[in-house]
């Protein structure tokens, strides 16, 4: 129905129009309209076929999987049925409903100061947190302080998960004793958290399956989980989504075998295992990864003979550590918000938002508050959890889920076929190393931009101070190489030889200044100029820096770029860079797609000569 007020009498007239009228369009129409927009932004040539918009707008993951810019029915037409939430194959969720009308908001604790941790636990539980994830033992919360820290906690209402890679049995006994002493049934999701395979992959422990079985025997009579497949172990090392999924299946399958061989039924064994995955700010791959993980584990459970509800994977999603940056750490709030959104939409039972200052050291009360409020806002204000599997039925998400699942299943087969656990982990390390190299090149060329680090850096920012970790995790942070340059800024600036009017040089001056700042290099801008002499005057006033970068438009380059380069060399410039691709006799040119890290390292060498 529509109301049309444009009548001669001024009286509104209601016109009945079917809602579907005019809303159906063909794919050709979309391609033509999209091509027109891309031509205006110069991302598509004037003579390009409209069909080329797919390749222009599609993104490709590090696994080589295409993320389409538009979902169409053809994408999902031949895909297997995802079933219903709470039913096999569990793609749409391990349960039909969420008990808390949202995901379980799980806070992370690792501060060795037991009194401070005890206060943080109470504060978080009183302000929106539902469960606790405690990194205990060496480098974390003292195991002998767990009882005191958990004394005020209603463990029948708030799940507690321990993570103690160096002392898993001691931590498990401590948590089991707390539960037994309180004489209550532990909240769903409680876990003793043993993960010897993940600890071995991180180099933070040894694989002791005897201790693992003992931990499972502690957990079973309490009705809680005993083992955690922590796939963030490989994610933190730089793994792709497919590699993270495949590793989790291999580790989970090994734990199943170990427990069954120790005398547990396959249903009991499956019920003792939970899973932890990383959620990144690449929202669609994260949503699809969590959906694919449930489908894949459901298949493993089916092939293993699991008949109970334990075939539905219990997932804990954690916002990615590698995606976070030490520089401009407040941008991490944006990253973790998108990641938490994706984790919730993807169907994770529990979600941990790491504090934005996590890369700098032990979190403070402010960052802890922001972390817990992120989930609260998504659930209570944005109502993201109001619908189970809101991405279900999206043609693009369903296709991405299927692509991830198929590739991960194939890699899982290779890992599981290895002669030994050590050989399997070595295979994973080899594959992850390739991904790390591929990602590093994309980051260096800024095809995978990092806001605040490789894009729009604040070269003079003052970082917040935080207490150091006792034993920090080894994490392959995506911004690591840029941050290493920022850690050692150079004192000498680059002179931006601006040619022409402000309007003529601003775009390239901004590009050059941002690029140089990403490597800890400052700049001095010459200002508007009408010729060589004016630029030289500004160069003299700037102290005649040894490195100069010409910034202007192509017309200015053609008219007097070569003359300016010659004059600057005579005035003392030892290295001349040109922002653009003109031939004016510069030593180096920079433009979109340049290997930023290689360029920055060479410029830094020139500046310290």
**Residue listed under structure tokens 């390009």:** 48
For β-strands 66-67 and 59-60, DSSP reports them as: antiparallel
Strand order in the sheet with 575-579: 523-525, 494-498, 547-551, 575-579, 588-590
Residue with more model confidence, 6 or 206: 206
Read off the pLDDT of each residue in 113-131 and give the average, rounded to a whole number. Answer: 97
User: What are the residues whose beta carbons fall under 8 Å from the beta carbon of 428, sequence distance 6 or more?
Assistant: 201, 234, 239, 243, 246, 247, 250, 415
Distance of CA 417 to the CA centre of its chain: 30
* Residue 497, strand partner residues: 550
Q: Quick: pLDDT tens for 357-374.
A: 999 999 999 999 999 999
* Residue 160, strand partner residues: 132
**Predicted confidence band of residue 3 (pLDDT cuts 50, 70, 90):** very low
The CA dihedral of 162, 164, 169, 172, to the nearest 10 degrees, is -10
The CA dihedral of 247, 248, 251, 254, to the nearest 10 degrees, is -110
- Give 153's Cβ-side CA count (13 Å radius): 32
> What residue spans define the domains of the chain?
2-58, 104-427, 488-607
**Predicted confidence band of residue 460 (pLDDT cuts 50, 70, 90):** confident
**Would the CA dihedral through 286, 290, 292, 297 be positive or negative?**
positive
Q: Say whether pLDDT at 16 is over 70.
A: no
Architecture of domain 488-607: 3-Layer(aba) Sandwich (3.40)
Structure tokens at 556: 């200015």
Q: With 0-12 CB in 10 A as exposed, 13-18 as middle and 19+ as buried, what is 511?
A: middle
Per the omega criterion (within 30 degrees of 0), is the bond before 89 cis?
yes
Q: Quick: pLDDT tens for 478-536.
A: 999 999 999 999 999 999 999 999 999 999 999 999 999 999 999 999 999 999 999 99
pTM: 0.93
Residues 184, 187, 193, CA angle at the centre, nearest 5°? 110
- Mean pLDDT, the chain, integer: 94
Question: In 315-359, which ranges are E strands?
Answer: 315-319, 350-352
* Residue 133, strand partner residues: 108, 161
The three-state (H, E, C) secondary structure of 198-233, written as one string = HHHHHCCCCCCHHHHHHHHHHHHHHCCEEEEEECHH
The CATH code for residues 104-427 is 3.20.20.240
Q: Quick: pLDDT tens for 172-188.
A: 999 999 999 999 999 99
Structure tokens at 44: 């598509």
The three-state (H, E, C) secondary structure of 348-367, written as one string = CCEEECCCCCCCCCCCCHHH
Q: What percent of the chain has pLDDT over 90?
A: 86
Structure tokens at 418: 């290895």
The residue among 312, 315, 333, 314 whose CA lies nearest residue 323 is 333
Structure tokens at 578: 């040109």
For β-strands 350-352 and 494-498, DSSP reports them as: unpaired
């Amino acid at each position: 129905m529509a109301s049309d007020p444009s009548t001669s009498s001024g009286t509104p007239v209601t016109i009945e129009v079917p809602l579907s009228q005019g809303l159906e369009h063909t794919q050709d129409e979309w391609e033509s309209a999209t091509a027109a927009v891309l031509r205006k932004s110069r991302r598509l040539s004037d003579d390009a076929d409209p069909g080329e918009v797919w390749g222009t707008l599609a993104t490709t993951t590090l696994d080589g999987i295409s993320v389409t810019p538009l979902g169409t029915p053809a994408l999902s037409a031949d895909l297997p049925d995802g079933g219903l939430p709470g039913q096999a194959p569990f793609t749409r969720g391990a349960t039909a409903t969420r008990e808390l009308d949202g995901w379980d908001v799980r806070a992370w604790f690792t501060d060795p100061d037991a009194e401070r941790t005890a206060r943080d636990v109470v504060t978080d539980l009183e302000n929106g947190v539902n469960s606790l994830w405690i990194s205990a033992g060496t480098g974390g919360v003292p195991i002998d302080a767990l009882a005191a820290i958990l004394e005020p906690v209603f463990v029948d209402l708030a799940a507690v998960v321990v993570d103690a890679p160096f002392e898993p049995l001691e931590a498990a006994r401590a948590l089991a004793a707390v539960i037994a002493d309180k004489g209550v049934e532990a909240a769903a999701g409680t876990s003793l958290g043993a993960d010897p395979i993940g600890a071995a992959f991180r180099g933070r422990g040894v694989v002791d399956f005897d201790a693992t079985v003992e931990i499972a025997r502690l957990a079973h009579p309490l009705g809680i989980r005993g083992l955690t497949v922590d796939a963030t172990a490989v994610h933190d090392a730089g793994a792709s989504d497919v590699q993270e999924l495949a590793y989790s299946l291999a580790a989970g399958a090994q734990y199943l075998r170990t427990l069954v061989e120790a005398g547990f039924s396959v249903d009991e064994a499956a019920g003792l295992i939970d899973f932890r995955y990383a959620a990144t700010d690449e929202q669609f791959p994260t949503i699809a990864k969590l959906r694919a993980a449930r489908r894949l584990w459901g298949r493993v459970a089916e092939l293993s003979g699991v008949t109970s509800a334990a075939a539905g994977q219990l997932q804990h999603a954690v916002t990615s550590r590698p995606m976070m940056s030490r520089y401009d750490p407040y941008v991490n709030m944006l990253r973790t918000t998108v990641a938490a959104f994706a984790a919730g939409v993807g169907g994770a039972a529990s979600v941990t938002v790491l504090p934005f200052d996590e890369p700098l050291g032990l979190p403070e009360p402010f960052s802890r508050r922001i972390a817990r409020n992120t989930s609260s806002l998504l659930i209570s204000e944005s109502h993201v959890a109001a619908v189970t599997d809101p991405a279900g039925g999206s043609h693009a998400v369903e296709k991405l889920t299927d692509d991830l699942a198929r590739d991960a299943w194939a890699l899982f087969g290779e890992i599981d076929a290895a002669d030994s656990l050590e050989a399997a982990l070595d295979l994973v390390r080899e594959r992850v190393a390739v991904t790390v190299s591929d990602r590093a090149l994309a980051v260096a060329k800024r095809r995978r931009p990092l806001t605040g680090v490789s894009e729009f850096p604040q070269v003079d920012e003052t970082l917040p101070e935080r207490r150091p970790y006792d034993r920090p995790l080894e994490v392959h942070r995506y911004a690591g190489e840029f941050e290493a340059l920022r850690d050692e800024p150079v004192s000498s600036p680059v002179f931006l030889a601006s040619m022409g009017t402000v309007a003529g040089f601003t775009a390239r001056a901004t590009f050059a200044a941002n690029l140089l700042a990403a490597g800890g290099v400052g700049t001095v801008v010459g200002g508007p100029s009408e010729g060589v002499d004016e630029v030289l005057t500004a160069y003299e006033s700037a102290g005649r820096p040894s490195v100069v970068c010409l910034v202007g438009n192509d017309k200015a380059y053609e008219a007097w770029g070569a003359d300016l380069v010659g004059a600057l060399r005579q005035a003392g410039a030892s290295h001349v860079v040109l922002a653009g691709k003109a031939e004016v006799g510069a030593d180096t040119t920079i433009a979109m797609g340049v290997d930023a890290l290689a360029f920055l390292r060479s410029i830094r060498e020139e500046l310290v000569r």
